[in-house]
């Protein structure tokens, strides 16, 4: 396990976890006020590649929403940390169809539903799960299918499948801003897609967008869920 000696949860400086978390929280508040938002978006701290001990520290600092992007790493953390109160686990990474059902056994929210095949793969869980999985239809903001996400013209069809699933409830749209264009322009396209989605599914108002480098722009454009990793956790350990 990799831990940074500067990451003392008890500290308050920029070099500490608590200091970085406090700074991001206050930036979220400031950006929400500047945008005239009456509710702040929900912060999901992305803890992928970090050890469970970091999630414990974040929990002690009051965080309850954690984002993971890989199975089985996510499953191991959920099991190891099952005694933590009131945690909501978010899956944000690309999902192989053959892994979908395993992920659906332990996760509360999936942000990365990007094809009908995944929806179908989750259906058998309806006899096992007590509560539905909250689901976002992921929109691909590039022309590169390998990036994950449905193209805009497939999004409504995907949302219909999610809505019809006995295992999933549709929350809204998720997207990752591409690196090769301004985040503002990318998020404007998410807003358009979101408005279209809400036209057909009036309850599906949520927008999961905004990461360490672009969350202020996402807040301006109505993000309801921010997925922030490195700006809070510090640099990720190298993926293995
Ligand atoms: C890793 C990741 C994030 C967090 O990115 P940071 O730049 O570390 O804030 C957000 N969303 C997704 C889908 C990710 O994979």
Q: Are 91 and 110 in contact (CB under 8 A)?
A: yes
pLDDT for position 6: 47
- Return d(Cα 142, Cα 111) in angstroms, integer: 17
pLDDT for position 12: 58
pLDDT in tens, the chain (240 residues): 444 444 444 455 678 999 999 999 999 999 999 999 999 999 999 999 999 999 999 999 999 999 999 999 999 999 999 999 999 999 999 999 999 999 999 999 999 999 999 999 999 999 999 999 999 999 999 999 999 999 999 999 999 999 999 999 999 999 999 999 999 999 999 999 999 999 999 999 999 999 999 999 999 999 999 999 999 999 888 765
Ligand 1 center from residue 226 Cα (angstroms): 9
- Cα atoms found within 13 Å of the Cα of residue 179, Cβ hemisphere only: 2
- Return d(Cα 119, Cα 157) in angstroms, integer: 12
Ligand 1 pocket list (CB less than 6 A):
46, 48, 69, 92-93, 176, 211-213, 227-231
Protein residue whose Cα sits closest to atom 6 of ligand 1: 229
pLDDT for position 136: 99
- Return d(Cα 228, Cα 105) in angstroms, integer: 24
Give this prediction's pTM.
Answer: 0.94
pLDDT for position 237: 85
The best mutation among 229, 236, 237 to test binding of ligand 1, ranked by most ligand atoms within 8 Å of the C-beta, falls on 229
Q: Which residues sit opposite 89 in a β-bridge?
A: 66
Ligand 1 center from residue 127 Cα (angstroms): 32
- Return d(Cα 93, Cα 122) in angstroms, integer: 16
The number of residues making up the chain comes to 240
Q: Write a three-state SS string for 133-164.
A: EEEEEEECCCCCHHHCCECHHHHHHHHHHHHH
Q: How many CB atoms lie within 10 A of CB 163?
A: 17
pLDDT for position 11: 56
- Return d(Cα 84, Cα 55) in angstroms, integer: 10
pLDDT for position 238: 77
Q: What are the CA-CA distances from residue 116 to residues 106, 160, 168 (Å)?
A: 20, 9, 12
Q: Which H or E run includes 227?
A: strand 225-228
Backbone angles phi, psi at 99, to 5 degrees: -100, -10
Q: How many CB atoms lie within 10 A of CB 73?
A: 17
Ligand 1 center from residue 231 Cα (angstroms): 10
Which two three-digit tokens encode residue 78? 């959920």
């Amino acid at each position: 396990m990799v831990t940074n000696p500067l990451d003392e949860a008890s500290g308050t400086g920029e070099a500490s976890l608590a200091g970085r978390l406090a700074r991001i929280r206050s930036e979220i508040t400031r950006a929400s006020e500047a945008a005239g938002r009456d509710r702040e978006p929900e912060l999901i701290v992305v803890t992928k590649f970090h050890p469970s001990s970091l999630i414990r520290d974040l929990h002690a600092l009051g965080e309850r929403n954690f984002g993971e992007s890989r199975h089985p790493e996510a499953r191991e953390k959920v099991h190891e940390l099952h005694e933590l109160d009131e945690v909501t686990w978010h899956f944000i990474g690309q999902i192989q169809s053959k892994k979908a059902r395993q992920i659906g056994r332990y996760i509360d929210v999936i942000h990365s539903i990007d094809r009908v095949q995944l929806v179908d793969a989750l259906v058998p869980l309806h006899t096992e799960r007590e509560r539905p999985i909250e689901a976002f239809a992921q929109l691909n903001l590039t022309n590169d299918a390998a990036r994950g996400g449905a193209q805009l013209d497939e999004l409504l069809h995907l949302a219909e499948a999610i809505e019809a699933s006995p295992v999933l409830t549709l929350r809204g749209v998720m997207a990752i801003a591409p690196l090769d264009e301004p985040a503002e322009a990318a998020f404007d396209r998410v807003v358009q897609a979101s408005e279209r989605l809400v036209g057909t599914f009036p309850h599906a108002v949520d927008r999961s967008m905004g990461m360490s480098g672009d969350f202020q722009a996402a807040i301006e454009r109505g993000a309801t869920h921010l997925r922030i990793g490195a700006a809070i956790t510090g640099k990720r350990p190298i993926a293995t």
